[in-house]
Amino acid sequence: MGEQQFGGTIGPTLAESQAWFPDRPKPKGAPNVLVVLMDDTGFAQLGPFGSDIDTPTIDRLAADGLRYSRFHVTALCSPSRASLLTGRNHHAVGMGFLCDMPTGFPGYTCRLPKSAASLARVLKDNGWSTMASGKWHLTPREDRTASGPFDTWPLGQGFERYYGFLHGDANHWAPTLVSDNHYVEPPAAPEDGYHLTEDLVDRALRMVTDQQHATPGKPFFLYYAPGAMHAPHHVAPEWADRYRGRFDDGWEAWRDRAFARQLELGVVPEGTELPARPPWIQPWAETTADERRVYARFQEVFAGFLSHFDHHLGRLLAGLEGLGVLDDTIVMLMSDNGASAEGGRVGSVNEHRFGFGYPDSLDENLAAIDELGGFRSYNHYPWGWAWAGNAPFKLWKRYTWLGGTRTPLIIRYPREIADPGGVRTQLCHIIDLAPTVLDVCGVTAPDVVDGVTQLPIDGASLRPTFTDAGVPEHRTTQYFEMLGSRSIVHDGWKATTDHVSQGVLDEQLLEGSRALADDRWNLFRLDDDFAEARDLADEHPDVVAALAARWDEEAARHGVLPICDNLHERLSVMEPPLWPTPRHVRYRPGGGAVADEAAPSLGGGSLVTASVEVPAEGAEGVLCAIGDWTNGWALVVLDGRPTFLLNIVSRGYQVQAPAALTPGPHDVGLRFEADGTGAGEGVLYVDGHEVARGSLPEGVGMSGIQIGGGGLRIGEDAGFPVSDDYRPPFRFTGTLHHVEVDGRPPSAREQGATLQEALRRE
């Protein structure tokens, strides 16, 4: 869109001149747009798609709108979001995998190209106000610091207002938040009743209310992407407790009931065969009483979290209705991928264990059963519930089986939908949503934006289905790829490889190929096999060969190659940071938290030194801290004594000096001495002299991977503490001049853990 040339005349005087004003778009009678993008929600987990979990708001949306039973996504977070906002396939816009891991290949740059202007940018240029509230996860890791660059942040992608979190997940009690282009603290403490879902709705309503008060009738685009239902499943006990006993008969029984409701509701066609339970899912009948108790509680908490989200979505819709704009708004609700299995076989009270390679323990889960969903947990349910939640499909998030790529889609648009409550069965994909919005809004996708020729849009509008349930499908082919898992839909067939990702969770138990060259293509006829239940590959080898060849063509066209199915292999091709954290860096009090991406790595031999002045009455408080009691470390002064606090996946360790600091100036130091295995000792120094040392566990070398708490903080803490030994902010009561870090490059093992953690956080 080029700048308009002046069209008036300029004379010596005003009387001899003619004013001119450039055309500015002012859409009249155009609809508002509300996109609600849920996270990690399986096909069967919402009421209108078969669930018995209470979702009255979503039920009403479905009753007033349409449900799409053959809607597909990419199987992972960042890629689906990129496709939603651009209308292009994810590899074609550089988002073939998580935005945390940019590589040197076009399909995996992790930066949306200027040739794919976002839906927000296009609508803004055509006169809409554009606002976003919630999860972003489209900014590469190194660009998420206070220094930016900000072109991949929401305001750089066409949104005029933003409030939410940039990462793949958040602690819902104490999140790391961004307002527009800067980090901010949550408006309240968790003990005061703060919850992220409620905050995001409050801010979304405030944005729209302010916009409508300022320009009544001006259309808006609101992108609402809460952290729900991504782990951690955080919710107050009263929400989870309403489901006490609801899931005591286990995942197979729940799945069977959901499937029966799906048939009754018409979102699954009659004659669908429900695939059998795979052998790696433990039969409920073979679980112990203790296992059943804790597994059921994990699901109760998940259900409470979902109902809590639904309640606050209801607040958002009620707010729009109160403004008189709801019925003039097209509402779209969907999930970015299927249900998540990252809780593994037994579930996890602290999902960070995934990134650190710590196995989850039934005994630890039982001991923490009353804390699930609360302040001390970072919980994720066992994968049996993910399998059930994706009914009637196989597998889950990260796989291109239907369990990863088929999710609910609900569209409400009273102006045009002819049969509210109906079901649509046309094959569709998340790339179709941006073209649908543009079509409904009467906006033509631009050929050029800021002088850059735009890529062709891969999606097509679903608007014809609003008034005609029998309209022909607009596409017959769609490819999928994620972490080496490949599939393709073409002319009613679907071919899916049996590839299993390497080095992920308990998935060594899964049946299938671990090498791309050994992958076997399974074949299904979707017209009479809705759930990929009957493999026809041996009966139709010619069809398999043709579909595999077509997948190759699609992969070449959209930039899928080279395929990488191993997280560790990505290290060799990941983009190096343009501004890497120096090995030696000095931090001073008074600034905001240093984003975890910019914080130094504490590899073996790293030294942290705080220069302080202790008054005559002594001092205490935080010198520096990163993370919290689910994972993190802090150098503090407790009862006058220098203390190193470490928390690795909810397991706490302490090294403390035997004597208090005397009044006057001191250098308080901490060094991690590694033994080559990732374990080692923590050593405390005062004025260069060792005063204490203690053994630390394997994994401490990775403690620079910040999980919560809003980054590296100097002189105080916020959110949750690293240990119960103090309560934030616990500001240092002496004078803190600066903190110096002499870091060490992370080992290959630590870098591998960073990749695992990024995958967990997506």
Quote the strand ranges of 535-663, DSSP E: 584-587, 607-614, 621-628, 631-638, 641-648, 651-656
Sign of CA dihedral 332, 336, 337, 339: negative
- CA dist 706 and 18 (Å) reads 60
- CA dist 634 and 644 (Å) reads 6
- CA dist 211 and 632 (Å) reads 40
- CA dist 718 and 729 (Å) reads 5
Q: What are phi and psi of 760, to 5 degrees?
A: -65, -35
Domain 32-475 has CATH 3.40.720.10: yes
Give the type of residue at 545: A
- CA dist 746 and 757 (Å) reads 15
User: According to the model, what pLDDT value does residue 169 have?
Assistant: 93
Residue 616 tokens, joined? 């005559």
User: Helices 250-265 & 289-322, crossing angle to 10 degrees?
Assistant: 40
Residue 702 contacts residue 750 (beta carbons within 8 Å): yes
Residue 594 contacts residue 718 (beta carbons within 8 Å): no
Residue 597 has a CB neighbour count (10 Å cut-off) of 19
Global confidence as pTM = 0.96
Give the type of residue at 646: L
**DSSP code string of 419-470:** STTEEE-S-EEGGGHHHHHHHHHT-PPPSEETTEEPPPP-----THHHH-TT
Residue 35 tokens, joined? 């996109």
- CA dist 381 and 385 (Å) reads 7
Among residues 46, 542, 117, which one has the least CA distance to residue 335?
Answer: 46
Residue 190 contacts residue 173 (beta carbons within 8 Å): yes
Residue 53 contacts residue 522 (beta carbons within 8 Å): no
In this structure, the strands spanning 71-72 and 32-38 are unpaired
- CA dist 242 and 300 (Å) reads 8
Residue 636 tokens, joined? 């503090």
- CA dist 165 and 108 (Å) reads 22
User: According to the model, what pLDDT value does residue 277 have?
Assistant: 97
Torsion-angle region of residue 144: left (phi > 0), alpha (psi -120 to 50) or beta? alpha
Residue 681 has a CB neighbour count (10 Å cut-off) of 15
Sign of CA dihedral 388, 392, 393, 398: negative
Residue 665 has a CB neighbour count (10 Å cut-off) of 13
Among residues 156, 203, 207, which one has the least CA distance to residue 184?
Answer: 203
Residue 644 contacts residue 684 (beta carbons within 8 Å): yes
Domain positions in the chain? 32-475, 480-566, 584-761
What is the fold, at CATH topology level, of the domain defined by 584-761? Jelly Rolls (2.60.120)
- CA dist 456 and 118 (Å) reads 13
- CA dist 308 and 317 (Å) reads 14
Give the type of residue at 136: W
User: According to the model, what pLDDT value does residue 697 have?
Assistant: 75
With a cut of 70, which residues of the chain have pLDDT below it? 1-2, 355, 503-505, 676-678, 698-709, 745-762
In this structure, the strands spanning 71-72 and 428-429 are parallel
What is the fold, at CATH topology level, of the domain defined by 480-566? Arylsulfatase, C-terminal domain (3.30.1120)
User: According to the model, what pLDDT value does residue 700 have?
Assistant: 55
- CA dist 562 and 297 (Å) reads 42
Residue 529 tokens, joined? 């096999």
Rounded to whole angstroms, what are the CA distances from 226 to 38, 251, 333, 523? Answer: 6, 26, 12, 36
Residue 7 contacts residue 20 (beta carbons within 8 Å): yes
User: According to the model, what pLDDT value does residue 758 have?
Assistant: 56
Residue 519 contacts residue 497 (beta carbons within 8 Å): yes
User: According to the model, what pLDDT value does residue 593 have?
Assistant: 93
